[in-house]
Structure 1
């Protein structure tokens, strides 16, 4: 019970500090995982235990694809453990923080983007409205997976052709203009799902049982579409590639970097400038 309380308190701490929903939901789980693995109370965990757990993570199988979990996922778990023990030390639940690993975050791979022609192929291969809606939201609107999951019916104004992101990364809000085609498909999807949608269900995307569609469900649907699409090497792409792609394509179509920043909801212009490099590299490649 004491351990459970520290995990719940840690979750509230992350929430109060303004961390994203992804961090608030996952980091307490990662902290719980090491406690379950070591089978000791936080007060009895040593640096040896943490190093041993790190070695275990490097061999842990990936449940979604072949091989072990990624280095970035390991880094996220270790960061969660570090923050958890820092919290325990700060609240004097433990006398000394046992975490002393010094592991650098892995360098992120170059962002892989679809060409504009490949995006057209994806739309052409969409077999139903939900697959097309995922492309609209993640590519046409540049939403993150979490933002798609949190999207509600009230966030879409069909008359004014606007989509509101009220809970973006870092609690940043933004408004996205919608094209006529996207508005039509969003309306059609909403109409189609009315028969299974529960009255209290505010989420825009829902599963066949009328419940809220989770981010993992969105990702799985996209991967099925991608795998079914010929002439695209699906292994290198992920759902977030759609967001990278729209940013690159907007710059290719001469939208200003400041407007692309606002469209994506970046807090800093430097986060958007990576796409100017991608655009430059693509231009050089085709010269």
Structure 2
């Protein structure tokens, strides 16, 4: 791997980008270098344009269809940030990135109703599945926040969950309901015999290794597929986070409190996570 890729990764980490960005953006930049078989110093705007054309025809490893516009946009954004970094640090004299690509319009995310959330809980088959629902819906955590959650981050006595390094290195404290505390406690007791003394991760598998984000996503999908009244293709794990935001507003929580619960910096970001029509009604009151 090109040394500049490792430097770029450290830069993203120091700037407080999310774990997903830190893990993936250097890989996207590396893919450009591999595709062109050139070093960063020799990349031209034509190389980047050729790579863009290639991405538009590249099949996804999972769906076998061409990768989505939003995924292409993410890869191009990574490449742009990579060359912006190289230009800023004087590694290159001129930035070769000249593409102007508009971000793909995102479809309005379908959220679960409160009744549908109850159906999901009824279709869980073990404590691990229920715990993942509690963390992603009941606590509104992002997937990487669930993955990085440690035992010390959950205070059962005070009924609080601590996110010590969220998106943008933002910290927040999440209150836990009695039901969530009871189930999380039971989960911890249930896996106590397989947990190694040195293992601090909250979610672990039978080998006492941390449960990774992809496994968390697949577990959610299994529960979703058992819930026959719901179409799995309409939902993703992040739908749970959108859903809890809307449900909290429906239950009269202020939008400022929902913002703090989700760990957003801007109120406008929180608005995206809610039903727009409902939100407009609340703001007009």
TM-score by length of 1: 0.93
Given the alignment, which residue of 16, 19, 30 partners 1:18?
16
Pairwise mapping of residues 245-260 of structure 1 onto structure 2 (< 5 A)? 245-260=243-258
Shift of 1:223: 1.0
Q: Which residue of 1 aligns with 2:98?
A: 100
Correspondence for 2:178: 180
CA RMSD of aligned residues (A): 1.8
2: CA distance, partners of 1:249 / 1:282 = 14
Contact 2:137 2:244 (8 Å CA) reproduced: yes
Residue 89 of structure 1 corresponds to 87
Equivalence map 1:107-256=2 (5 Å): 107-256=105-254
Q: 1:280 to 1:265 in 2, by over 3 A?
A: closer
Note the C-alpha offset of 1:16: 2.0
TM superposition shift of 1:21 = 2.0
| Alignment deviations for residues 44-77 of structure 1 (CA, whole Å, 9 cap, x no partner) | 2211111111111112222233522221111111
Which 4+ runs in 1 deviate beyond 4 A? 280-283
> Kindly tell me: are residues 197 and 122 of structure 1, through their superposed partners in 2, closer, same or farther at Cα, counting changes over 3 Å?
same
Alpha-carbon distance, 1:280 to partner? 5.5
Which ranges in structure 2 are unaligned for 5 or more consecutive residues? none
> Deviations along 1:184-225, whole A, 9 cap, x unmatched?
111111111122222211110112221111111101111111
* Match of residue 7 from structure 1: 5
Paired residue total: 281
Distance 1:219 1:56 in 2: 29
Once the two structures are overlaid, the 10-residue window that deviates more, 30-39 or 13-22, is 13-22
Residue matched to 1:279: 278
Q: Distance in 2 between matches of 1:149 and 1:184?
A: 20
Distance across 1 between alignment mates of 2:130 and 2:106 = 29
Please give the alpha-carbon distance, in whole angstroms, between the structure 1 residues aligned to 2:279 and 2:169: 31
Alpha-carbon distance, 1:246 to partner:
0.6
Aligned residue for 2:161, secondary structure, equals strand
CA distance in 1, matches of 2:85, 2:254: 42
Q: Is the 8 A contact 1:149 1:215 kept in 2?
A: yes
Tell me, in whole angstroms, the C-alpha distance in 1 between the residues paired with 2:268 and 2:111.
Answer: 19
Asked if the contact 1:248/1:278 (under 8 Å) is kept, the reply is: no
Note the residue ranges of structure 1 that are not aligned, 5 or more in a row.
Answer: none
